[in-house]
Structure 1
């Protein structure tokens, strides 16, 4: 399978421009909606109500201020298992849904969050619940079981009062999103390509005296200018801020010889995620300790990629994973592998030492896309290395999707 999107990339003045989709977008839309319908039928639900902007994007591909709408219950999608897909949008902007074949009906959402509804919140919530109940009665065949990915008490209670039985919709969506079509993989590769252009710009800008924020801005600029959408985190740190992990970038000035580690979490063109991590040393050769922890992180990544096979249970993957030396165990990354699609997604495979408390089981399947993670932090040097690769599960094992080079001369 050719995952390249180079056939639709125009090169102008040394830049890349993603101006036209490299695949039939309507085919992607129909595949994704069919995946949702399949999961709904398996659980005998009348339909699903989606408020999470990522789930809405997956279901119908119509977008409207996705980050802003993540704050408020102002936009949603209703999907009947045996019936229409109805988009309840923020405001009356039907042009935003034009030409999308999976959207059967466009409505203006009766927004009931307090910011917009104030003391009319209950009235607005009742109005919305009445519409959803009516759709379920029309298309549910007497089934009143509704999956919802997330909804406040204000929105749920009027539905319950009308006899709607609410179930977890996030399970539906995570399982639907887990298996990628061939066309989705092409779109994901476009996001990775853009991400790696941004990483290249970061590398070129990395020199003593630059701030963490200024370095990170290179990734944002490349993503937006090449058709990407947003970045979910700001996980870049330098020197002593790389240990322990999980500090977002700051105005700290990066000094010569310091480790710089980052995790992209980038939502690129067509809404797909490029989630990869790299670690560098600023303007100098790495020290012996920097080399040592980098080599261990690299070894962990390579080993854990090699054990992934379709048909393995998550526990079997945990059991076969690289054994973290005791020296680094307390500061290990929270998972060894997680899924990726329009964002981080199912599954999240935990370390064997954490499995009893945090793990859950499931099965690795062909055409899952996964991120293989490593963090090795050194108490001795006070620095840490973060590495991560994005891979596709194939019949034989995995095929790596991310291509930005590691620091092979450090090994």
Structure 2
């Protein structure tokens, strides 16, 4: 699977995209962009690690000499690109600059490059213009290959297995923090390499979309929003939200959860090539607004997902970006009543040639735990 995900084809497409954007080279430091292009999950250290990808010339992966063995052991070592190590006594930025072809006028730097590294390259390459490479790289990353979709499906299956076990941990008398720890352990046990977030928001805490787990004791009859996700060993992420209640839910909550469910289903059914991000957002938002809950839907409908939990494309009002086959993103409308409770339903969807494919398969209905 790893070799199918990380190939030199990505480097070729990035080089072509950089040329089309008027860049002479791209410089990428540790993060999702570097992992996307090379498969190397490099540590973000004070020492410089970066990929040099000139439009005309061969790519070079620059690393501190002591990190070269790790780079060779990663998928980058099987791509056939040069891995060049710099010594502790060398100026790493001058070393990297010396490996670029002559005549470089404009370089694209990854959006998350540390400021000290950006300045280091500026000083090592006086007169070279620096631009953000984000638009070039995100445009590539948002269109997933079949291998990437398989990786996301695998991640979705793993997080679904955690949601399916919620009745083991979510019980009256336990705190959000206790339940959250059990969920975190299960995220690892079900195949993830890393836990990225665990939201267990009970009662009034559910009215905060990004509530942190607390020592609040969960009581019977309280709705609980559970939003969880992690990163798989291949680097691809999961993210899914479901709603639970211990015993019978408040009548008001059951009413607006039904509205939310209808809206989220309408949105996932509406995924298709050509629909714009803002049009997809409006499908659910309009239904929620018509039911009288519009002011309680306080965030965008969704975000892209891949090697990062949040990446392009964003499903939000004002975005005229049309969806294309291969784009993967969350569909997660929510309704939040301040000081009372809240609900969010979230699935990861992939735009296909003929419509949409929902990667999360657990029930979207309100789950009543006895």
Separation of aligned partners in 2, 1:230 and 1:90: 26
Q: Cα distance 1:365–1:175, how it changes in 2: closer, same or farther (>3 A)?
A: same
Question: Counterpart of 2:35?
Answer: 57
Query: Which is worse superposed, 33-42 or 179-188?
Result: 33-42
Aligned residues: 358
**Unaligned stretches of 5+ residues in structure 1:** 1-22, 112-122
Cα distance in 2, alignment partners of residues 409 and 276 from structure 1? 14
Q: Does 1:300 align with 2:259?
A: no
Q: Does residue 330 in structure 1 map to residue 295 in structure 2? A: yes
Q: Identify the match of residue 355 of structure 2 among 388, 397, 400.
A: 397
Structure 1 moving runs of 4+ over 6 Å: none
* Stretch of structure 1 that moved more, 401-410 or 383-392: 401-410
Structure 2: any 5+ residue segments left out of the alignment? none
TM-score, scaled to structure 1? 0.78
Q: Return the offset for 1:63.
A: 2.1
Q: 1:80 to 1:385 in 2, by over 3 A?
A: same
Counterpart in the other structure of 2:108: 147
How far residue 168 of structure 1 moved from its aligned partner, in angstroms, is 0.9
User: What is the TM-score with the length of structure 2 in the denominator?
Assistant: 0.86
User: Structure 1 pair 35/205, CA: closer, same or farther in 2 (3 Å)?
Assistant: farther
Residue 316 of structure 2 is matched in structure 1 by: 350
User: Is 1:78 matched up with 2:37?
Assistant: no
| CA displacement at 1:185 relative to structure 2 | 1.3
1:227 CA drift (Å): 4.1
RMSD: 2.7
From 94, 105, 116, the counterpart of 1:130? 94
Q: Secondary structure at the residue paired with 1:232?
A: strand
Aligned to 2:227: 263
Alpha-carbon distance in 2 for matches of 1:94, 1:160:
25
Where in structure 2 are the equivalents of 1:2-401 lying within 5 Å? 23=1, 25-30=2-7, 31-65=9-43, 69=44, 74-89=48-63, 92-96=66-70, 97-98=72-73, 100-102=77-79, 104-108=81-85, 127-137=91-101, 142-149=103-110, 150-161=112-123, 162-282=126-246, 284-323=247-286, 324-325=288-289, 327-343=292-308, 344-351=310-317, 355=318, 360-379=319-338, 382-401=340-359
Seen in structure 2, the aligned counterparts of structure 1 residues 372 and 34 have a Cα distance that, compared at 3 Å, is: farther
Q: Conserved in 1, the CA contact under 8 Å of 2:350 and 2:359?
A: yes
Contact 2:274 2:323 in 1 (8 A): yes
